Amino acid sequence: MSETALLPAAPEAPAVPAARGRSARVLVLSIAGLVASVAMILLSASPDYFVTTLRLVVAAAGVALMVVSGSALGRQLFGPAFDLSFWFSVAWLLLLGLAVTFAPWLPFGEHLDVANSLDQPINASPDPFSANPLGTNLFGLDLLARSVYGARSSLVIAVTAVVIGTVIGGAIGMVAGYFQKSVDRVVGIFTNSLLAVPPLILLIALATVLEPRIRNIAFALSLLTIPGMVRLARATTMLYAPREFVVAARALGATRVRILFRELLPNVLLPIVSLAIVMISILIVAEASLSFLGLGIEPPEPTWGNMIAEGEGTVFEDHPHIVLVPGTFLFLTVFAFNLVGEKARRRWDPRSVKL
């Protein structure tokens, strides 16, 4: 055997500096990509440089670059589990909530009274450097202000309807899941009866009878949430009712009301809340559909549905921003609620609980 074979192998050079160099390059490229994407979006929003089609292409490219760069930057800063879409959804809902809350004190243009917008240009295109950054409609009303105030109407209606449906449906479902037998059969008939009626037919029928007010629309939409809440609360209650802590409480002489509120409700509440978040997005779309058909909140009071209806037909061909602005608000809000609700459902799904 040669002497060289007996010599120890030379240690490999550490790969840490190379990995750090790659991380630094990715970090720099991500920040540069974010800056470039913001510049592209701002450039596409200005009507002085490009025609409409090219502006849309530049804006889409800027959004795509922002998503890629933001994901890479987030993974570099917060680890590989970073979810850009989730945090974007949370940020959008927080921003929208703050804008809706403080809308009367924000420097928005006129959103309601046409008499106060006589000096404003009509159908003005979006321009981030003007007094109307998202443009105006055919009455000269500011689209940014109308979109924010429209969010107030849509969110109040959807959240109120979900709260009503969650309280009523959750209580009925827990009672049916705990007592079962004849109570469960009666609740099943009631739930199936509501599910047998097409939702749009039911909403149109109620809208023709009730006055188009926020309270009435919220009541009508709450009927859509009750069956789903009943079924989820019933299934979750039946899952936890045989558990040891419920049996022990029953053996110690706890009343049925105490068992339902103290033992079962905390375990049923989390899955219901996750479904309620998703239901908010569904009811926002339902309310927008009613307003688009002229059965919801009537103009000039803004909602996303009647704002989209303002731009249909030839108006959309000449001034697409009248539809795209409220449509974008509607899309981003529904997307955010859906994503946050699905994230909560995967975390709080009772089927994932280790029994």
pLDDT tens track for 312-325: 765 667 778 888 88
Residue among 336, 294, 302 nearest 89 (CA): 336
Domain boundary among 82, 106, 130: 82
- Please tell me the predicted confidence (pLDDT) of residue 354: 41
* Residues whose CB falls within 8 Å of the CB of residue 328, separated by 6 or more in sequence, listed in order: none
pLDDT tens per residue across span 296-346: 888 888 899 888 888 776 566 777 888 888 999 999 999 999 998 888 877
Cα of 55 vs its chain's centroid, Å = 27
Residue among 272, 174, 161 nearest 221 (CA): 161
- Please tell me the predicted confidence (pLDDT) of residue 158: 92
- Please tell me the predicted confidence (pLDDT) of residue 166: 92
Q: Tell whether 269 and 340 lie within a shared domain.
A: yes
- Please tell me the predicted confidence (pLDDT) of residue 314: 54
- Please tell me the predicted confidence (pLDDT) of residue 312: 75
Q: Give the separation between CA 70 and CA 90, rounded to whole angstroms.
A: 15
- Please tell me the predicted confidence (pLDDT) of residue 78: 75
**For residue 182, is it within any domain?**
yes
Q: Give the separation between CA 212 and CA 221, rounded to whole angstroms.
A: 12
Helices then strands, counting H and E runs in the chain, come out as: 14, 0
Domain boundary among 35, 51, 82: 82
Q: Give the separation between CA 319 and CA 355, rounded to whole angstroms.
A: 58
Overall domain count for the chain: 2
Q: Give the separation between CA 163 and CA 251, rounded to whole angstroms.
A: 34
Question: Hey, what are 158's tokens?
Answer: 């959807």
* Residues whose CB falls within 8 Å of the CB of residue 18, separated by 6 or more in sequence, listed in order: none
Q: Exposed, middle or buried, 32 (CB in 10 Å: 0-12/13-18/19+)? A: exposed
Q: Tell whether 78 and 200 lie within a shared domain.
A: no
Residue among 153, 147, 154 nearest 307 (CA): 147
- Please tell me the predicted confidence (pLDDT) of residue 95: 93
- Please tell me the predicted confidence (pLDDT) of residue 353: 44
Question: Hey, what are 229's tokens?
Answer: 């809440």
Which residue has tokens 């731009």?
311
Q: Tell whether 71 and 160 lie within a shared domain.
A: no
Question: Hey, what are 244's tokens?
Answer: 């040891």
Question: Hey, what are 288's tokens?
Answer: 């927008």
Work out the number of other CB atoms within 10 angstroms of the CB of residue 121: 13
**For residue 94, is it within any domain?**
no
Q: Tell whether 147 and 57 lie within a shared domain.
A: no
Q: Phi-psi category of 213—alpha, beta or left, where left has phi over 0 and alpha has psi -120 to 50? A: beta
* Residues whose CB falls within 8 Å of the CB of residue 332, separated by 6 or more in sequence, listed in order: 92
- Please tell me the predicted confidence (pLDDT) of residue 350: 54
**For residue 59, is it within any domain?**
yes
- Please tell me the predicted confidence (pLDDT) of residue 309: 87
Q: Tell whether 164 and 260 lie within a shared domain.
A: yes
pTM for the model: 0.83
Cα of 210 vs its chain's centroid, Å = 27
The 3 state secondary structure assigned to 115-138 is HHHCCCCCCCCCCCCCCCCCCECC
**For residue 41, is it within any domain?**
yes
- Please tell me the predicted confidence (pLDDT) of residue 86: 85
- Indicate the residue type of 122: I
Query: Mean pLDDT for each consecutive 10-residue tract of the chain (355 residues)?
Result: 50 54 71 76 62 70 77 76 83 92 87 80 80 85 91 90 92 89 86 81 79 85 89 89 85 84 86 89 90 83 88 70 89 92 75 44
Residue among 246, 253, 275, 282 nearest 344 (CA): 275
Q: Tell whether 206 and 339 lie within a shared domain.
A: yes
- Please tell me the predicted confidence (pLDDT) of residue 1: 47
Please report the beta strands in the chain, taking only residues with DSSP state E, as ranges in sequence order. Answer: none
On the question of a cis peptide bond just before residue 104, with omega within 30 degrees of 0, the verdict is: no
Work out the number of other CB atoms within 10 angstroms of the CB of residue 259: 18
Q: Tell whether 174 and 318 lie within a shared domain.
A: yes
**For residue 104, is it within any domain?**
no
Q: Tell whether 197 and 304 lie within a shared domain.
A: yes
Q: Tell whether 201 and 60 lie within a shared domain.
A: no
List the domain range (segments joined by +) for residue 33: 14-82
CB 285 within 8 A of CB 294: no
CB 304 within 8 A of CB 150: yes
CB 212 within 8 A of CB 297: yes
- Please tell me the predicted confidence (pLDDT) of residue 355: 35
**For residue 114, is it within any domain?**
no
Which residue has tokens 């053996």?
251
Q: Tell whether 150 and 75 lie within a shared domain.
A: no
Q: Give the separation between CA 214 and CA 100, rounded to whole angstroms.
A: 16
